[in-house]
Amino acid sequence: MNGAHDLGGMHGFEPIQPDADEPVFHAEWERRAFALTLAMGEYGAWNLDMSRFARERMEPGEYLRTSYYEHWLHGLQLLLVEKGFLSTDEIDARMRSLAAEPNAGTES
């Protein structure tokens, strides 16, 4: 494949040099998106290849503008809708409620 998600394998791009102190997750939502994606795979809703393909279907411009875990969130949302667990309306409603009350649902 030769898409936005394959930049690391293209000629002319420097190797990625992660910071030594780089945290795995910068925010709690990243941890949750990653965990939910893996949990649904364990549940049998999809497998690793389906999860990766969902992330790779992100529009290239959006892919380049967003972070690593935003890619995971995109794939998670896409698969949840495709597999019938949620509707786009339900996701949109939740996003609106979080925009109105950013700290809602952050209790552990």
Query: Which tens digit of pLDDT belongs to each residue from 31-66?
Result: 999 999 999 999 999 999 999 999 999 999 999 999
Rounded CA gap, 49 and 65, in Å? 23
Q: Could you state, in order of their start, the residue ranges of all structural domains in the chain?
A: 26-100
pTM, 2 dp = 0.80
Percent of the chain with pLDDT over 70: 81
Residue 92 has pLDDT above 90, yes or no: yes
User: Which pLDDT score, from 0 to 100, does residue 30 have?
Assistant: 96
* Angle CA 60–65–69, to nearest 5: 95
Q: Write out the two tokens for 77.
A: 């949302």
Q: Which CATH number fits domain 26-100: 3.30.450.20, 3.40.50.1360, 3.40.720.10, 1.10.472.20?
A: 1.10.472.20
SS3 108: coil
